[in-house]
Amino acid sequence: MGNVIAKNPIMPGFYPDPSICAVNGDYYLCNSTFAYFPGLSLMHSKDLAHWEQIGNVLNRHSQLPLEGADHSQGLFAPTIRYYKGVFYVICTNVTHGGNFIVTATDPEGPWSEPHYLVDADGIDPSLFFDDDGKCYYIGTHPNPDGVKYNGDWYIYICEVDLENWKLKGEKKNVWNGALKGCIWPEGPHIYKENGYYYIMHAEGGTGPEHSVMICRSRDIWGPYENNPKNPILTHRHLGKDYPIKYVGHGDIIKTPADEWLFLQ
């Protein structure tokens, strides 16, 4: 990739909840768009510093029903992934239909109609393709034992049947946040490195207490161990007057040079 100087923010303006995937020397960035149409802006870069919009994942009304959606409804926290020639974007339409997957062989489109995952409750889904070809869904939903306070949610994992577009087997609750009694563990992603599965997620609510946490396990189903140095990223200790704040949702990638980069 060479020496490139990137200026933060690399995407000034309205680009929340970023998700990124790398395909050879190309990088693709997808963001939440909530109640706006078209939905899920899609950006392309060769160097992670200079970005160009190549389209929107959801640009047909049949893909994106938004009738009655308020300002903070519609599309939440997409995840973009690439596996064996196919791009996958998974997202939640909180106003209509819930969690869904769309696919494309060309990131510029056309993207498929949504495949709704009727058994996938909650929000903020992500996909993970393991070394054996299995695909897993990870998302977040209300505490299955009963919500005891606002934001009492759990992160859960389930295998996905991508031929029939449905969850497969047991849904297992694997993590409910790094801090005891945390609120809104959300936006989880799974990564695999050196025999460990890592769950990186946000918690603390999308406000001043927002933060990025991580845990790991030798088995995708857990148990997951907390990183004693959590949070791995936050600006909450810098106060509300600091120019960067509310840092939480993010995604990480490995470059061809084996560098890990975090996009928030």
Dihedral, CA of residue 261, residue 122, residue 68 and residue 32, to nearest 10:
0
Q: How many residues are there in the chain?
A: 264
Residue 161's closest CA among 138, 136, 141?
136
Closest CA to 126 of 96, 101, 106, 103: 101
Residues known to be catalytic: 17, 186
* CA quadruple 7, 8, 14, 15: dihedral, nearest 10: 90
- Helix or strand or coil: residue 237? helix
Q: Are 11 and 43 in contact (CB under 8 A)?
A: yes
Tokens of 46: 């060769």
Task: Indicate the Cα dihedral angle 112, 198, 45, 34, nearest 10°.
Answer: 50
**CB-based contact 231:220 (threshold 8 Å):** no
Instruction: Give the strand pairing for 166-175 and 39-45.
Output: unpaired
Report the largest interatomic distance among the alpha carbons of the chain, rounded to a whole angstrom: 51
Tokens for 158, please give them.
Answer: 């389930």
Q: Which two tokens stand for residue 56?
A: 């929107």
Q: What distance in Å separates the CA atoms of residue 20 and residue 82, rounded to the nearest whole number?
A: 10
